[in-house]
Structure 1
């Protein structure tokens, strides 16, 4: 199935436990005798008949409400002999932002998996393509682990793109003449924070499912779930590093701006310090009282100008000697 092909509102598969799948098979009723394999029913949340289909599956009201909830976060909740698992993946749909995470809700039992989706996920298409090749998951636990691994696979390019962007910004910081696009930095930090906000709870959800005492989870299932949790954890660590590196770049930008402002303020302070005594001297000579020297001399103005130039030169030398021009 192509990534661009629309996902049907209803998917129904019966996996035989050996890698093969039968499409449009009826769901396995609860409490049916073990026969190997499991069924997978995947429904679009806002499609007509989804609520009726869930009711026909004889699910507990708590499970139905959790599957049909408006907003979800990654979590794993054990309810009876089943587990409610909410996962999230990056949004790779055309025109969408990757950090706009897409949720998938799963009810997992010994012989069936019931999933609810709102927007299509390419990780689900990966499972469908594997089923077409005869490489379908063999157990419900393997199904969840494979889905989580494919979600991580699909998220890795987005995280790698963030790494490349922060690399470019770090290179710009080293160039004193380069202009740092602060809007790009803010967008990068925001994307990393949003992705991380879902990655770490997703790791916790997978770890919770792995350690739960559910009889239908095999040792291989737990091993795959542990690997999926580790993959998600590594992505979370990468996002932590990106966020920290973005903060360092931001601090360097602010330090550079502070240095420029300090240099400009130093120049203004020196200019003000030079002209302060000159202004005082000319103010004293301009007071409108008797006794001001030089009022009768035709050369007094030029002597005052020469004295001001000499005073200015002395002040410049003094400030240079004090290191204020460095």
Structure 2
């Protein structure tokens, strides 16, 4: 059993639950006495660890009593939301929006959980506001009665934190649609950025919906129906977020198509005007070029009024072509 201070520094939070809704914070010594294969007489425990890159997790690997495959899943570098039964417990990976300072919300933060009847072990790589919300509820005396109840509380807090981010994206698309419908054109960069954020969020939120749905469906006799209803609520909310993100992605795509069409129409119109102007000057250029050839026999060379006659003729031809093009709505 490891008692190193380096190992203790990886402890983010730990609580013991009495099964009646009350939670007591645990120190590192109490965590060292916790083993998955030595259940407690009553209640359950939650141990939340911080994974530090390049630093081992001696308690988790050697003293927790967890299967090595479980430890490997909890400390994996990259994860996607999933729910997998394993032995007497469940492996669950979830994601939450990244609300850390200076970070992008769509760069979602993972939390990996091992859930059994008497023990919940979770591992994070970066801090999650949803976990902080859950810890604050426990410290305020509002704790769950079962391990899956703790997970349901955490899942609901994750969805609570997602909602403002998705609403902001929806409002941003509303503004883009209003701008596209008016005279001003939104920047394509903004449209692409909103669409990218929606696609990135959806990539993690969709499997999270499936993971929560699978957790609800697990035939565990230590999960009360009230907790299953909480999980169903979290699943329904995540399902709605998936639909919202798909709508945001599609609406941003439509705005991008509108921008492309408007720009193509503008360019076509400008090209058409330039072509029409060239068509007006083409016969004028032909006539002046013909009269400018350096050979004998050019009419009017000896007439002092010939220049003004030719000028008037060119103006008449130009005005006539202009009026013709205007009548045909080519200009």
TM-score, normalized by length of structure 1? 0.91
Q: Deviations over 1:67-111 (max 9, x none)?
A: 111111111111112111000101112222211211100001111
1-side partners of 2:274 and 2:310: how far apart? Answer: 25
Is 1:282 paired with 2:284?
no
User: Which residue of structure 2 lines up, in the alignment, with residue 156 of structure 1?
Assistant: 163
Indicate the SS of the match to 2:325.
helix
Q: Deviations over 1:147-204 (max 9, x none)?
A: 111000011111111122222222222331x352332222222211111111111001
Is 1:201 paired with 2:207?
yes
User: Which residue of structure 2 lines up, in the alignment, with residue 312 of structure 1?
Assistant: 318
CA spacing shift, 1:49–1:322, aligned 2, 3 Å: closer
Is 1:12 paired with 2:19?
no
2-side partners of 1:53 and 1:119: how far apart? Answer: 18
Gaps of 5+ in 1: 1-6
Is 1:298 paired with 2:300?
no
Indicate the SS of the match to 2:35.
coil
1-side partners of 2:37 and 2:76: how far apart? Answer: 26
Give the counterpart of 2:118 among 94, 111, 115.
111
Superposition deviation, residue 296 in structure 1: 2.5
Superposition deviation, residue 212 in structure 1: 2.2
Superposition deviation, residue 256 in structure 1: 1.9
Is 1:263 paired with 2:265?
no
Q: Deviations over 1:6-63 (max 9, x none)?
A: x973422111111101221446533546744211111111185633334211111111
Indicate the SS of the match to 1:313.
helix
Indicate the SS of the match to 2:47.
strand
Indicate the SS of the match to 1:53.
helix
1-side partners of 2:223 and 2:304: how far apart? Answer: 109
Matched-pair contact (CA < 8 Å) for 1:67–1:106: yes
User: Which residue of structure 1 lines up, in the alignment, with residue 99 of structure 2?
Assistant: 92
Instruction: Tell me which stretches of 4 or more aligned residues in structure 1 moved more than 6 Å.
Output: none
Superposition deviation, residue 266 in structure 1: 1.6
TM-score, normalized by length of structure 2? 0.90
Indicate the SS of the match to 2:107.
coil
| Pairing 1:177-196 to 2, within 5 Å after superposition | 178-196=184-202
Indicate the SS of the match to 1:12.
strand
Gaps of 5+ in 2: 1-8
CA spacing shift, 1:272–1:263, aligned 2, 3 Å: same
Q: Deviations over 1:214-259 (max 9, x none)?
A: 3333322322212111111111111111111211221222222122
CA spacing shift, 1:51–1:205, aligned 2, 3 Å: farther
Indicate the SS of the match to 2:284.
helix
Indicate the SS of the match to 1:245.
helix
Matched-pair contact (CA < 8 Å) for 2:60–2:66: no
Superposition deviation, residue 205 in structure 1: 0.7
Give the counterpart of 1:125 among 132, 141, 161.
132
268-277 or 91-100, which deviates more: 91-100
Is 1:237 paired with 2:243?
yes
Superposition deviation, residue 268 in structure 1: 0.3
